[in-house]
Amino acid sequence: MEDYRAKPEVKARMKACLAAPEYKAQRKAYRARPEVKAREKARKKAYEAKPENKAQMKERDWRRRGIVGMTAEHYDRLLANQNGVCAICGKPQNGRHLAVDHDHETGIVRGLLCVHCNRVGLSWIERVGLVRVVEYLGRLTA
């Protein structure tokens, strides 16, 4: 027996129905209910607690940000090569993941940076020194 939902005209009607403003309002109201929020939060927490899902979620985040070919294994390898410290200032991670520094045009990974080095500002450059930033970028082009 053929599934009626597989027919193109039924799919089109279903898609139009799901996009209707009144249906969206109903869905939003349902998801706003406290018991639904609690159930979704518990489900998400259980999913995130599994080690295999953590790496998968991180890789999905990297793909979303346009970082080409980044995997959890690649991250661990980079971290080991940098001795667990930031590539510019040399500070350890302090319980946080180091940010993946990448070229936004090509998506190629340059290295791992701490939060401060990843968000360069003038006051930060004065503290760390422009020379270290130039050295870091110079190592990549050489």
Give percent above pLDDT 90 in the chain: 1
pTM reported for the whole predicted model: 0.51
- Distances in Å between the Cα of 130 and the Cα atoms of 42, 115, 119, 120, 133 are 46, 17, 14, 11, 5
Of 20-34, 46-60, 89-103, 122-136, the least confident: 122-136
* 140 pLDDT higher than 70: no
Domains in the chain with CATH codes = 4-49 (no CATH), 68-141 (3.40.1800)
Backbone φ, ψ for residue 102 (5° rounding): -145, 160
Mean pLDDT of the chain: 76
pLDDT of residue 1: 53
pLDDT for 5: 64
Helix (H, G, I), strand (E, B) or coil at 70: coil
